[in-house]
């Protein structure tokens, strides 16, 4: 089966954005006043821009890759599919979620809502399972069911916002998952020219910057960022043969899940430490050092864990 190196490139960049974003959150109000110790305009605006790209990229690429693997016949067996996603997403979510409950004193009930940054694993598990079974329904019935389910979640979230089962995250990010799946089949036909994708990417970047400065409409920004991500995917696919370090990139991609799981814990524990709190006033140097440290340590821990069967299960490899 052909490996999509360009998808690995995009996922790695998304992971770097995620880690850096989490290092900046304390210098903006994006997590709320409780977790904001100082507002630095540069970090404030950068974190509010990155939020339109990091998780959307991961979600889009996860569904995109799911489309590719589905075409290869990898997911014919629903039982096998559920087992793989349970091992890959649900078990790490429960294991690390329990650890967070212990060291950060969260209530165990948060495991049913999407605890801390691990909400994303919970959301992905839901998205994969729901979409997999709905996609097996023939003809237009599956689209009607998918729209009905999503609409019901939107209504529940609007009239009675609840963190239970991560409904809010499902409403926010499921559209990216659905789009990512169908984008794979569109791009496989190679109907979009390189120049069109390039010019569209430039236009989206400029319009995004203008919209952020002048109006800051969240829906318009989300639409422009989505279009930009799709253009980047098209250009990466068309230039895949020119990507350097293929083997190195594929190796790094293996550690992406582990880095995502571990880095946030390291960041929060560092921020709550005496040394971390004393260093926060250095608002330029501290987030950069924190980024390098959390990325390096989380990679090293993932590397060690992947050397054993139990470690691979814990880390979702």
**pLDDT over 70 percentage in the chain:** 94
Classify 79 as helix, strand or coil: helix
Cα separation, 54 vs 120, in Å, equals: 12
Q: What is the pLDDT of residues 186-219, one digit of tens each?
A: 888 878 888 899 999 999 999 999 999 998 899 9
* pLDDT above 60 (res 8): yes
Q: Rounded to whole angstroms, what are the CA distances from 226 to 57, 72, 91, 132, 210?
A: 8, 26, 30, 23, 16
The domain spans of the chain are: 5-315
Picking from 171, 172, 86, 182, the residue whose alpha carbon sits closest to that of residue 135 is 182
Q: What is the pLDDT of residues 165-194, one digit of tens each?
A: 778 888 889 899 999 999 998 888 878 888
* Average pLDDT over the chain, rounded to an integer: 87
Q: What is the pLDDT of residues 14-36, one digit of tens each?
A: 999 999 999 998 888 777 666 67
Picking from 289, 288, 233, the residue whose alpha carbon sits closest to that of residue 5 is 233
Report the pLDDT value the prediction gives residue 34, as an integer from 0 to 100: 66
Are the beta carbons of 52 and 92 closer than 8 angstroms? no
Helices (H), the chain: 5-24, 41-50, 54-71, 78-85, 91-103, 119-135, 141-159, 167-187, 194-214, 218-238, 246-254, 256-272, 274-279, 285-305, 309-315
* pLDDT above 80 (res 146): yes
Q: What is the pLDDT of residues 236-275, one digit of tens each?
A: 888 877 766 666 677 778 888 999 999 999 998 898 888 8
**pTM, entire model:** 0.89
Classify the C-alpha dihedral 226-170-60-117 as positive or negative: positive
Over the range 269-278, which residues count as b (16 or more CB within 10 Å of their CB) and which as e? ebbeeeebee
């Amino acid at each position: 089966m052909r490996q999509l190196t360009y998808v690995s490139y995009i996922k790695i960049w998304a992971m770097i954005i995620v880690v850096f974003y989490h290092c900046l959150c304390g210098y903006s109000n994006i997590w709320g006043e409780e977790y904001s110790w100082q507002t630095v305009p540069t970090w404030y605006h950068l974190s509010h821009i990155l939020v339109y790209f990091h998780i959307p990229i991961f979600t889009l690429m996860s569904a995109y890759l799911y489309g590719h693997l589905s075409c290869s016949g990898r997911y014919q067996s629903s039982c096998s599919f559920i087992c793989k996603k349970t091992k890959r997403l649900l078990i790490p979510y429960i294991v690390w979620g329990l650890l967070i409950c212990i060291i950060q004193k969260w209530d165990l009930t948060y495991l049913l809502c999407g605890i801390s940054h691990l909400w994303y694993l919970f959301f992905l598990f839901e998205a994969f399972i729901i979409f997999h079974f709905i996609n097996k329904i023939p003809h237009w019935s599956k689209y009607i069911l998918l729209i009905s389910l999503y609409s019901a979640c939107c209504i529940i979230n609007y009239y009675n916002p609840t963190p239970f089962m991560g409904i809010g995250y499902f409403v926010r990010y499921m559209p990216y998952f659905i789009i990512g799946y169908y984008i794979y089949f569109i791009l496989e036909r190679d109907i979009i020219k390189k120049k069109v994708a390039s010019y569209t990417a430039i236009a989206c970047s400029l319009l995004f910057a203008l919209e952020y400065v002048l109006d800051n409409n969240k829906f318009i920004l989300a639409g422009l960022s989505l279009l930009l991500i799709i253009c980047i995917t098209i250009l990466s696919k068309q230039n895949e043969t020119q990507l350097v370090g293929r083997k190195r990139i594929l190796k790094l991609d293996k550690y992406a899940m582990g880095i995502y799981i571990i880095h946030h814990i390291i960041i929060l524990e560092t921020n709550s430490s005496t040394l971390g709190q004393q260093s926060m006033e250095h608002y330029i140097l501290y987030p950069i050092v924190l980024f390098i440290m959390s990325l390096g340590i989380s990679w090293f821990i993932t590397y060690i864990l992947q050397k054993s069967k139990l470690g691979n299960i814990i880390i979702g490899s």
